[in-house]
């Protein structure tokens, strides 16, 4: 049947059902859905005034639910039902009123007859029922004649909604090779029609596509495996089309479809398989430990964990030279070296390798495995020489002569060429070049004297190199132990300082002394002690029989006033071959002690106190001496200050002495006369302030004169020599001004040149009145005047 024919038959069926329902409901609307007359206990005669009659009024409205068919689309409004009251006696003063859901819009009532009509097309899936209120009122006064009452209009369902798969499309999975009836997944369809009324919402499921692999329960919609032996490696995914049809699956029912994608999940049903039955690899003899030598791979048609394999060697590796591990990324077996290869001892290996699935499957009963043969050919490589030992141990006495042979090392080239070997010492391990080695025979000799007390062990590295190939080097450790000889004298274990009490008794122990020796004899040390002065009048020694002695006092007449310190030389000798000895001095101080022998004082205070001066008196004497020194220094400082000579007859009130031809009293930078006055006070560099030298030299040490006088002439000669030879020594070369008397001075110029060239009539006879020093000056100027007149 075509789709068009199916739609036509569906439309005719709907029209027929509607007509049958409407014709069967018409009597119901006129009887059960109409208002039924009920007698009201209302008095016929009006009571008189003052008389009150109690009565119970019976309800006047009685009706059942009303129904209306959904999706009805006739030319005229459909009659839903009729309202009627027993008060309606045919008179025209009764009016029916409708209120509630849809009143006036969806439902309309005839005010006179009470007929209710549906004005619009209704859809049960949008709203299944409506609640309304009916009331009868007086048309003239609008007063209610009956109390209002509610009733329900239900929309009667028709099959107008097809089933829908809300959650579709679906996906499901099931292990491959599953048995028939194994559940895959479940689908669910919904129908918006009324599930209570009729069969509009009763669904039946079926498979449109996906047979014969899967089936579906028509009621529960559970999809199950329908074909046994489905292999994922053959086909992994299936598309199943499911149909849901209402009306119990009968003709005329509506249907909906969905798709279900079913995926077969993998199980371990395939064994690993090597791509080849045998492999062959060639690897060099000098391949490093842990380095890969080759790769093998067993392929597995399964996926994920089911395809993972573990590799192992089950034969051909008796020496445990190789191992095989799995590459997690590529699932390859990597052959790696566990021990060094030796081409000379074995040139090839034949290994049996097995690949086994890691995961076992309960369905197939694995695991599976496969094996292959791997042949490994060793390629000869030029190897470094091999020492006969990895480490050598030699010993030598510390007094061995230079060029003494300590020992010899040996190495051999194990290659087929058997190249000659040369020996060297790694000088990084013998920085002091203590040893030498013969490059041909490997004999190690002494190059410098040894001292066991400085270095007891010497660890050096010896290298062996092929003559044919210098890059092939091997190394060996050589440990050289220096054997001891008796070449060190014993000495005191520490610097002893003993204290002797003045009131001590003869024979008291002053100090216990022990000795040490840098040598290390095999039998241990034995020391012998003796006093350098055999018959010492003050002290003696006693052997303690444990390599130590005790120093004893011979008498009790030790006094600090007589002798404060005693130096006691003691000779210590060992029993080595030859014996070694040394003289050590013990310092013994005489001290004042308490009655119980406790040392109280060993300093000079013990000599001062017996004179009769107390400690307080000594402190006062020291303070007085300090005050005297301070006063003496203060007075001398005031005495050295220069006196200011004042002369009332001098108009300048002071005398300024000039010893150079500088710039007068305001020129304070020309020269420092204090250098000549105190040459001992200038020992370094005195820079000049007016001109900065171009070169900066370090200050020079000045020449010191004797402590009892100042040799000014020698000092000036030294400074003159320095000034001539050192450009940085003062005075610096600079322009000096000699005709400047300063500002504001009342003194006139004394320049003879200027006076001689002037035409003044000045009389210089007054210079003779100034004294003998100016008489000669006056005579000179007077002579000049006489020459001018002549």
Q: What is the pLDDT of residues 689-727, one digit of tens each?
A: 444 444 444 444 444 444 444 567 778 887 777 777 766
Average pLDDT over every residue of 304-323:
87
Banded pLDDT at 534 (limits 50, 70, 90): confident
Averaged pLDDT score across all residues of the chain: 76
Q: By the 8 A CB rule, do 114 and 149 touch?
A: no
Q: By the 8 A CB rule, do 152 and 130 touch?
A: yes
C-alpha distance from residue 719 to each of 569, 660, 707 (Å): 57, 17, 20
pLDDT above 80 (res 274) = yes
Q: Specify the pLDDT at position 664.
A: 53
Q: Which residue has the higher pLDDT, 341 or 238?
A: 238
Residue located via tokens 């600079």: 734
Banded pLDDT at 134 (limits 50, 70, 90): confident
Distance in angstroms (rounded) separating the CA atoms of residues 182 and 228: 10
Average pLDDT over every residue of 13-21:
45
Banded pLDDT at 781 (limits 50, 70, 90): confident
Q: What is the pLDDT of residues 631-640, one digit of tens each?
A: 887 777 765 5
Q: Specify the pLDDT at position 125.
A: 76
The share of the chain scoring above pLDDT 90, in percent, equals 26
- Of these ranges, 84-88, 142-146, 667-671, the one predicted with the greatest mean pLDDT is 142-146
Banded pLDDT at 404 (limits 50, 70, 90): very high
For 183, the token pair is 């559940």
Distance in angstroms (rounded) separating the CA atoms of residues 35 and 86: 8
**Those residues with Cβ within 8 angstroms of residue 71's Cβ, 6 or more apart along the chain or in another chain:** 121, 122, 123, 158, 160
Distance in angstroms (rounded) separating the CA atoms of residues 107 and 102: 6
Q: Specify the pLDDT at position 226.
A: 92
pLDDT above 90 (res 785) = no
The share of the chain scoring above pLDDT 70, in percent, equals 73
Find the range with the poorest average confidence among 214-218, 431-435, 538-542, 654-658: 654-658
Which among 311, 317, 314 has a CA at the least distance from the CA of 350? 317
Average pLDDT over every residue of 72-93:
78
> Three-state DSSP class for 664?
helix
- The CA-to-CA distance between both ends of the chain, in Å, stands at 176
Average pLDDT over every residue of 759-787:
67
Q: Which residue has the higher pLDDT, 743 or 245?
A: 245
For 258, the token pair is 């969905």
Q: Report pTM.
A: 0.41
């Amino acid at each position: 049947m075509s789709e068009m024919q199916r739609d036509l038959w569906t439309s005719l069926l709907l029209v027929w059902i509607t007509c049958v329902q409407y014709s069967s409901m018409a009597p119901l609307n006129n009887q059960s859905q109409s208002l039924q007359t009920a007698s009201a206990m209302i008095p016929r005669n009006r009571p008189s005034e003052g008389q009150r009659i109690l009565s119970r009024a019976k309800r006047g409205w009685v009706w059942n639910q009303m129904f209306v068919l959904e999706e009805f689309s006739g030319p005229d409004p459909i009659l839903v039902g009729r309202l009627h009251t027993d008060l309606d006696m045919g008179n025209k003063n009764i009016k029916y009123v409708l209120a509630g859901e849809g009143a006036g819009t969806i439902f309309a009532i005839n005010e006179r007859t009470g007929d209710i009509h549906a004005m619009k097309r209704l859809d049960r899936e949008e709203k299944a029922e409506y609640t309304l209120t009916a009331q009868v009122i007086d048309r003239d006064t609008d007063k209610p004649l009956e109390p209002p009452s509610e009733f329900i209009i239900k929309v009667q369902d028709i099959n107008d909604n097809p089933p829908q798969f809300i959650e579709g499309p679906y996906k499901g999975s099931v292990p491959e090779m599953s048995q028939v009836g194994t559940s895959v997944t479940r689908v669910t369809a919904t129908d918006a029609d009324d599930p209570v009324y009729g069969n509009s919402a009763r669904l039946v499921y079926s498979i449109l596509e996906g047979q014969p692999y899967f089936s579906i329960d028509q009621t529960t919609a559970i999809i199950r495996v329908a074909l046994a032996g489905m292999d994922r490696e053959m086909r992994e995914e299936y598309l199943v089309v499911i149909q849901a049809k209402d009306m119990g699956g009968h003709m005329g029912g509506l249907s909906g479809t969905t798709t279900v994608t079913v995926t077969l999940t993998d199980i371990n049903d395939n064994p690993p398989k090597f791509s080849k039955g045998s492999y062959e690899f060639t690897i060099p003899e000098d391949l490093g430990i842990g380095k890969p030598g080759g790769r093998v791979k067993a392929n597995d048609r399964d996926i994920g964990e089911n395809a993972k394999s573990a590799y192992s060697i089950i034969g051909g590796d008796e020496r445990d030279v190789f191992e095989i591990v799995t590459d997690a990324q590529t699932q390859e077996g990597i052959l790696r070296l566990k021990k060094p290869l030796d081409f000379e001892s074995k040139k090839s290996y034949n290994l049996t390798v097995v690949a086994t699935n890691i995961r076992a499957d309960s369905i197939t009963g694995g695991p599976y495995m496969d094996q292959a043969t791997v042949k490994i050919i060793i390629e000869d490589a030029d190897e470094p020489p091999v020492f006969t030992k990895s480490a050598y141990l030699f010993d030598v006495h510390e007094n061995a002569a230079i060029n003494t042979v300590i020992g010899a090392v040996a190495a051999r080239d194990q290659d087929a060429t058997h190249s000659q070997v040369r020996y060297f010492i790694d000088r990084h391990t013998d920085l002091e070049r203590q040893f030498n080695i013969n490059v041909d025979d490997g004999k190690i000799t002494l190059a410098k004297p040894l001292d066991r007390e400085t270095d007891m062990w010497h660890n050096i590295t010896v290298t062996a190199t092929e003559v044919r190939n210098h890059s092939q080097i091997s190394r060996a450790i050589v440990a050289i132990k220096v054997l001891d000889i008796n070449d060190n004298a014993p000495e005191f274990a520490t610097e002893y300082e003993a204290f002797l009490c003045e009131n001590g008794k003869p024979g008291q122990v002053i100090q216990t002394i022990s000795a040490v020796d840098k040598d290390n004899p095999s039998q241990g040390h034995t020391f012998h002690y003796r006093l350098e002065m055999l018959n010492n009048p003050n002290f003696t020694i006693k052997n303690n029989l444990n390599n130590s002695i005790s120093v004893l006092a011979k008498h009790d007449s030790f006094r600090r006033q007589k002798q404060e310190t005693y130096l006691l030389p003691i000779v210590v000798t060992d029993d080595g071959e030859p014996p070694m000895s040394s003289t050590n001095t013990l310092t013994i101080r005489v001290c004042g002690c308490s009655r119980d022998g406790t040392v109280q004082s060993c300093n000079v205070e013990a000599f001062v106190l017996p004179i009769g001066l107390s400690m307080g008196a000594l402190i006062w004497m020291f303070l007085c001496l300090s005050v005297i020194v301070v006063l003496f220094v203060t007075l001398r400082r005031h005495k050295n200050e220069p006196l200011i000579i004042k002369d009332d007859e001098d108009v300048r009130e002071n005398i300024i002495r000039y010893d150079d031809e500088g710039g007068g009293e305001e020129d304070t930078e020309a020269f420092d006369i204090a250098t000549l006055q105190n040459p001992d006070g200038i020992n370094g560099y005195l820079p000049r302030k007016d001109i900065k030298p171009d070169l900066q030299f370090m200050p020079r040490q000045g020449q010191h004169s004797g402590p009892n006088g100042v040799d000014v002439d020698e000092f000036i000669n030294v400074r003159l020599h320095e000034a001539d030879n050192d450009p940085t020594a003062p005075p610096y070369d600079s322009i000096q001004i000699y005709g400047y008397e300063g500002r504001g001075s009342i003194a006139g110029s004394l320049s003879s040149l200027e006076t001689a060239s002037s035409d003044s009539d000045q009389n210089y006879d007054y210079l003779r009145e100034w004294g003998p020093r100016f008489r000669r000056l006056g005579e000179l100027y007077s002579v000049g005047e006489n020459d001018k007149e002549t």
